[in-house]
Amino acid sequence: MIAKQHRTPLPSVDWLHGKMSDLKIQFQVFEGPMDLLLFLVKKQEVDIYEVNMTELATQFLAHVELMQRLDLELAGEFIVMASTLMYIKSRELLPMEEQVEDPDEDDNEDPRWDLIRRLVEYRRFKDASQDLQRLEIEQRNVYTRRPGSIPIEPLPAGNRLEANIFDLVEAVNELLERFAKRETSRSEIVDDRWSISEKIGLIRRRFSQVGRLTFSELFDGVGSRGEVAATFLALLELVRLKQLRTTQAAAFGEIEITIAPVEMQHLESEHMQPETMLT
């Protein structure tokens, strides 16, 4: 069975380096290399045992390069996995008679199948973890808005999927591609040194008013790739702090951003405080 080809184009975003140094986002607090591999396997829409390793390696390297250009601090495990995938890719591309045997490699050990075995085990672990998390959410008390509180709708129903970091990276990649096409010459690119800390404040104030936005709505009004990147990194930090939550109605669908339960209660407390002081 031939896997479907899903290529992620890389925008030219080298200009990002050094422009937003006020806050570093540590990627390892979100996901690891195995999570990225499972995400890419799911996009190929094939059984994990039939995955196209050459395509998987290409996509993995493209995502790692994009995340590095976005100034995300990647754990060393991503580089190790990239090396492993490149080795597997080289073995699959070379004819058997041209492959050089590794004296340290076990005769019965195939790096491709070893990686697939690890992926299967990790997927089982992730599925079990998600089942436990789902049970925990179902057992929580349903959040009820108090009289006089700000008009924020509750979080989406439990049938929505959590949008992971890779969904977000692919979504912002599409935005960056769009802006790259608009900025056809260097003279059109303004010096947009955006502060991620300032963007965090702007996003928090916006969500205190509206409660929820789609991913594309969050970026309404941005004027450059630099502002897109700063807004995206600010969003990641707020997700990391569990102040915002990102979900999808279906896998790879439109991303919706909502205020997380704890942050929603905090905002309502702030809203209720002036009334309490007047009594």
Indicate the domain borders of the chain: 14-141+156-278
Give the residue-averaged pLDDT of 167-196. Answer: 75
Task: Return the beta strands (E) in 218-260 as ranges.
Answer: 244-248, 255-259
Q: Any bridge partners for residue 245, and if so which?
A: 258
Q: What is the pLDDT of residues 191-204, one digit of tens each?
A: 567 788 899 999 99
- Would you state the pLDDT for residue 98? 52
Beta-carbon contacts of 46 under 8 Å, excluding residues fewer than 6 positions away, are 1, 3, 4, 52
Q: Say whether pLDDT at 99 is over 80.
A: no
Q: Say whether pLDDT at 131 is over 60.
A: yes
Question: Which residue has better confidence, 83 or 268?
Answer: 83
- Would you state the pLDDT for residue 21? 46
- Hey, what are 209's tokens? 């008013």
Give the residue-averaged pLDDT of 130-138. Answer: 72
Q: What is the pLDDT of residues 208-231, one digit of tens each?
A: 898 899 999 999 988 888 889 899
Instruction: Give the closest residue to 40 by CA, choosing from 132, 178, 218, 164.
Output: 164
